[in-house]
């Protein structure tokens, strides 16, 4: 009978050790997995608490700003239409501040001081309203002015706490991300000893880490970077600027009328609208720039290492992409935005830059400017601009915006070959205002596109009148950069031509050199589609901008207009005549018609003829005339020989 072989004692001892080691490894691994799950849960709870605190501070900041705006609005117009909302907002402000002041986990002594200041401010507000009720508006204004320092102190402190909370939240998120990465590394090390348990733990850990990092950097609704991620990008850009790069430019964007969408159509529609707005805003910047959502209807842009003036160009593009209605569930919604712009100064931190952009945004919103750049001191002309913008839409509706026409004369023959439409404002109290009194203000607002459409429609209607009563006279209309950034502009031109019954050959669009360089690709595409309609195009004020030769060569244009500043003194010789001659030669070499503006005497006209200029306009022939005056002038002019007139 054979005996059973026994295991070698050394082998059995080794097996026991391996089994014990494997068992211990599995226990450690399971313990690590359980600890990791508990740790991740704690991290998520911490994230939720931080997010809740951030939301409380943001709500307090919003309500304080709303309360102060409503008080200013109530005092400014003396009416009672803003008072109910003001009185309803004030207890909400106290409640929001009280919740923060009662927080047991942090030092909020300064916030308790703000709560007391707010209570005193509301007491002062009650006195202001009482004086308004007694008809003492002047006394109410004086008292409101005395409350302004307290208003600024309250808002400044609340905004500072909001910013601090965001920084603390970012720190907690960074800590959570670091701990999550450490847990993943430990799990990978244990993978060598326990594959099955490690896979489960590793997947759990990676999923939670991705969730944490996503919460740290991304807005859940739109997929854009959130406030924390934007602050990190901005801080990085500020550090890079210190190494010799340009200072970053920050834009704060707030949607106008978004609250009405939420109130009337519901938050679900509001959320869908925000998603579509975010998609359009993404198209307004380069790949290196950042578009973020701060919450609610507030967005932010970071433009890195670029000229400050691009901030205004970006604001124009934002207004342009928002002009097309948003169709949500079959409902067309119009959205406009108020944009604040600031370029960081050396030594500023993220909080300073965002605060300045936020201030500029509120200036734009309150004054209906469309966009505004941050200024340390108040602009003395702000009141005038507000007055102008408050009346411009009414002026268009009532026909106070009128067009005058200046003739364009062919130099070689003296023939009338066209007219330039120039807008004037027939103001009911200030008389006839030149474009310099309102166009610069208009170009900073969302009204500029409706204004361009208004001028275009009226100019083409007049061209139709001349076709019927005299003979075809082409009209030239100035258009702004915003039109050429709108892909739908050529279609608008086509529809306006059709409505007026005018062929495209009788329309010329004049654009400036600065419009070209703002966005050459979009400009070239839009101009090509416009020219396909038979419409001519012209570069206005040629020589005063900085369009590159490469862009000029590629631009689908028919003529260039030499600026009057060069033409005015050219008859006296010197550099002006040389520059005009060079501009004429360059235009002809590119196959373009050359128009000289500002011709005021015979000597200038003769000098232009010697240089080979094609077309001239100016006071020598006629100033800008009302439509009826222009018709009479054209009839007289056509009955004379061009040589006699000259």
| 312: in domain | yes
Do 422 and 299 sit in the same domain of this protein? no
State the residue range of the domain holding 512: 401-628
| 4: in domain | no
State the Cα–Cα distance between residues 295 and 352, nearest whole angstrom.
Answer: 19
| 352: in domain | yes
- Which span out of 156-160, 397-401, 496-500, 598-602 was modeled with the highest average pLDDT? 496-500
| 568: in domain | yes
> Which of 6-15, 407-416, 542-551 is least confident?
6-15
Q: pLDDT, tens digit, for every residue of 118-147?
A: 888 788 888 888 888 888 888 888 888 888
Do 460 and 346 sit in the same domain of this protein? no
Do 148 and 231 sit in the same domain of this protein? no
Residues 612 and 582 sit within 8 Å (Cβ to Cβ):
no
- The answer, yes or no, to whether residue 532 has pLDDT greater than 60, is yes
How many C-beta neighbours within 10 Å does residue 589 have?
8
Q: Is 301 helix (H, G, I), strand (E, B) or coil?
A: strand
| 575: in domain | yes
Query: Which residue matches tokens 């712009």?
Result: 341
Dihedrals phi, psi of 445, to nearest 5 degrees: -130, 170
pLDDT at residue number 78? 63
State the Cα–Cα distance between residues 259 and 270, nearest whole angstrom.
Answer: 8
Do 334 and 427 sit in the same domain of this protein? no
- Name the average pLDDT for the chain: 80
Do 405 and 506 sit in the same domain of this protein? yes
Do 429 and 574 sit in the same domain of this protein? yes
> Which of 45-54, 204-213, 236-245 is least confident?
204-213
- The answer, yes or no, to whether residue 388 has pLDDT greater than 60, is no
Please tell me the total count of domains within the chain.
3
According to DSSP, the β-strands at 431-433 and 475-478 are unpaired
How many C-beta neighbours within 10 Å does residue 422 have?
20
| 160: in domain | yes
Using a pLDDT cut of 90, give the percent of the chain over it: 31
- The residue among 301, 445, 248 whose CA lies nearest residue 363 is 445
pTM of the model: 0.47
State the Cα–Cα distance between residues 45 and 53, nearest whole angstrom.
Answer: 12
Residues 340 and 372 sit within 8 Å (Cβ to Cβ):
yes
| 222: in domain | no
pLDDT at residue number 381? 44
Do 524 and 606 sit in the same domain of this protein? yes
CA atoms within 13 A on the CB side of 188: 7
Do 193 and 234 sit in the same domain of this protein? no
Q: pLDDT, tens digit, for every residue of 23-63?
A: 666 666 667 666 665 666 666 666 666 666 677 777 777 88
- The residue among 448, 444, 457 whose CA lies nearest residue 403 is 457
Q: pLDDT, tens digit, for every residue of 562-616?
A: 888 788 777 666 677 888 888 899 889 888 999 999 999 998 999 999 999 999 9
Do 113 and 211 sit in the same domain of this protein? yes
> Which of 75-84, 303-312, 317-326 is least confident?
75-84
State the Cα–Cα distance between residues 151 and 144, nearest whole angstrom.
Answer: 10
Do 192 and 250 sit in the same domain of this protein? no
pLDDT at residue number 34? 67
For residues 616-629, average pLDDT: 94
DSSP label at 338?
E
pLDDT at residue number 5? 40
């Amino acid at each position: 009978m054979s005996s059973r072989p026994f295991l070698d004692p050394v082998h059995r001892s080794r097996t026991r050790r391996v089994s014990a080691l494997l068992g211990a490894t599995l226990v450690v691994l399971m313990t690590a997995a359980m600890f990791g799950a508990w740790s991740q849960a704690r991290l998520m709870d911490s994230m939720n608490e931080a997010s809740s605190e951030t939301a409380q501070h943001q709500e307090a900041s919003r309500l304080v700003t709303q309360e102060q705006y409503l008080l200013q609005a109530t005092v400014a117009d003396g009416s009672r239409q803003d008072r109910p909302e003001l009185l309803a907002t004030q207890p909400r402000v106290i409640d929001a501040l009280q919740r923060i002041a009662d927080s047991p986990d942090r030092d909020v002594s300064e916030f308790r001081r703000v709560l007391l200041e707010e209570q005193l401010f509301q007491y002062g507000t009650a006195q202001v309203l009482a004086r308004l009720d007694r008809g003492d508006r002047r006394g109410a204004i004086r008292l409101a002015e005395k409350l302004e320092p307290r208003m600024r102190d309250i808002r400044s402190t609340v905004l500072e706490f909001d910013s601090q909370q965001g920084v603390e939240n970012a720190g907690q998120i960074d800590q959570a991300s670091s701990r999550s990465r450490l847990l993943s590394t430990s799990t990978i090390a244990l993978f060598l000893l326990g594959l099955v348990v490690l896979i489960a733990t590793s997947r759990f850990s990676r999923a939670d880490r991705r969730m944490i990092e996503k919460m740290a950097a991304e807005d859940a609704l739109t997929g854009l970077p959130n406030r924390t991620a934007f602050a990190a990008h901005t801080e990085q850009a500020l550090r890079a600027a210190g190494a010799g790069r340009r200072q970053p430019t920050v834009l704060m964007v707030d949607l106008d009328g978004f609250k009405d969408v939420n109130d009337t159509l519901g938050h679900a529609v509001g959320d869908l609208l925000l998603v579509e707005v975010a998609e359009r805003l993404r198209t307004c910047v380069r790949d290196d720039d950042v578009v973020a959502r701060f919450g609610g209807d507030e967005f932010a842009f970071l433009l890195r290492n670029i000229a400050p003036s691009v901030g205004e160009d970006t604001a124009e593009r934002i207004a342009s992409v928002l002009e097309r209605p948003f169709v949500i569930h079959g409902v067309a919604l119009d959205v406009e935005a108020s944009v604040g712009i600031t370029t960081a100064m050396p030594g500023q931190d993220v909080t300073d830059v965002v605060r300045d952009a936020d201030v500029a945004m509120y200036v734009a919103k309150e004054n209906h400017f469309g966009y505004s750049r941050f200024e340390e001191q108040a602009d003395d002309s702000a009141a005038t601009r507000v007055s102008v913008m408050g009346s411009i839409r009414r002026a268009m509706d009532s026909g106070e915006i009128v067009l005058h026409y200046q003739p364009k004369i062919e130099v070689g023959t003296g023939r009338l070959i066209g007219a330039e439409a120039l807008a004037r404002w027939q103001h009911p109290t200030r008389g006839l205002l030149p474009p310099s009194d309102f166009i610069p203000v208009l170009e900073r607002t969302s009204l500029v596109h409706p204004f361009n459409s208004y001028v275009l429609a009226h100019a083409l209607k007049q061209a139709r009148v001349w076709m019927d009563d005299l003979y075809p006279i082409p009209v030239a209309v100035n258009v702004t950069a915003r039109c050429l950034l709108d892909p739908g502009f050529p279609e608008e031109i086509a529809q306006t031509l059709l409505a007026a019954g005018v062929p495209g050959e009788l329309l010329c669009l004049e654009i400036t050199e600065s419009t070209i360089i703002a966005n050459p690709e979009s400009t070239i595409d839009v101009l090509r589609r416009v020219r396909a309609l038979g419409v001519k195009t012209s570069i206005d004020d040629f020589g005063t901008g900085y369009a590159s030769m490469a862009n000029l060569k590629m631009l689908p244009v028919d003529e260039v207009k030499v600026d009057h500043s060069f033409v005015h003194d050219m008859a006296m010789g010197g550099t002006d005549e040389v520059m005009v001659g060079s501009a004429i030669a360059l235009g002809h070499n590119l196959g373009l018609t050359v128009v000289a503006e500002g011709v005021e005497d015979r000597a200038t006209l003769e000098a232009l003829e010697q240089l080979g200029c094609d077309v001239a306009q100016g006071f020598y022939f006629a100033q800008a005339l009302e439509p009826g005056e222009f018709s009479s002038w054209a009839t007289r002019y056509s009955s004379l020989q061009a040589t006699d007139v000259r």
